[in-house]
Amino acid sequence: MYEGTLLGLFGPYALIGGVLFVLMSVTSGALWINIKTEGAISTKAGDLAKKSTLIVLVLALVYLAYSFVGIEGFTGNYSVMPALYLLPVLAIVAAVLSVFFTKKGRGFPAFCSNLLAFLFIVQSGLASIYPYMLKSSVSPEYGIDIFEAASSHLTLSIMLGGALVFVPIVIIYQLWVYTLFKEKIKETEQVDY
């Protein structure tokens, strides 16, 4: 349950987080274009990635610092289980590695590092609200925890069966697609369609 106005959703924390995650997505796209192309397009994407990885690092530091200092109750689970502090540390390490690899012109490790930073920042937030899926700002009993949000045993069993069948099919298909399109895209003056 949310108590407040529409403008209340656009506080500094939400805006920093929104800009951070959009910029991380832009950085991933630029790094992927840098990996998969050659020539001027690859160079432009690499230049954009060099700038955006630095901004991502700074915003990640600000966002995580704000989370721990400015958000009431954020550190509750961290105090109970100090090993969770590894999540934001790993997020910053991954963001630093992304900057490092981008500066060295190593696109694939930079791409992977950026994705890991994304993952660990999200996990840092999820670790702070566990066991809630949606934490109420009004009162804890209005929140939805992971146990209330879970489906019935029968539904989960059917979903597991479907996942065991279809996830390997999707993985095999994706591996085939990445194998098929593994070459870099080259600039040509004329395209024959």
State phi, psi for 143 to the nearest 5 degrees. -75, 165
Tokens of 130: 């566990």
Determine the average pLDDT of the residues in 6-25.
Answer: 92
pLDDT grade, residue 187 (50/70/90)?
confident
- Sorted by where each begins, the domain ranges of the chain are 7-147
**What pLDDT shows up at residue 47?**
96
Determine the average pLDDT of the residues in 92-111.
Answer: 96
Residue 7, pLDDT > 60, answer: yes
Residue 1, pLDDT > 70, answer: no
Does this model's pTM top 0.85? My answer is no
**What pLDDT shows up at residue 144?**
87
Domain topology for 7-147: Four Helix Bundle (Hemerythrin (Met), subunit A) (1.20.120)
Could you give the CA distance from residue 146 to residue 135 in angstroms, rounded to a whole number?
11
Tell me what percent of the residues of the chain surpass a pLDDT of 90. Answer: 69
Tell me what percent of the residues of the chain surpass a pLDDT of 70. Answer: 96
Residue 59, pLDDT > 90, answer: yes
Residue 189, pLDDT > 80, answer: no
Chain segment 134-153, per-residue pLDDT in tens: 877 777 788 888 888 888 99
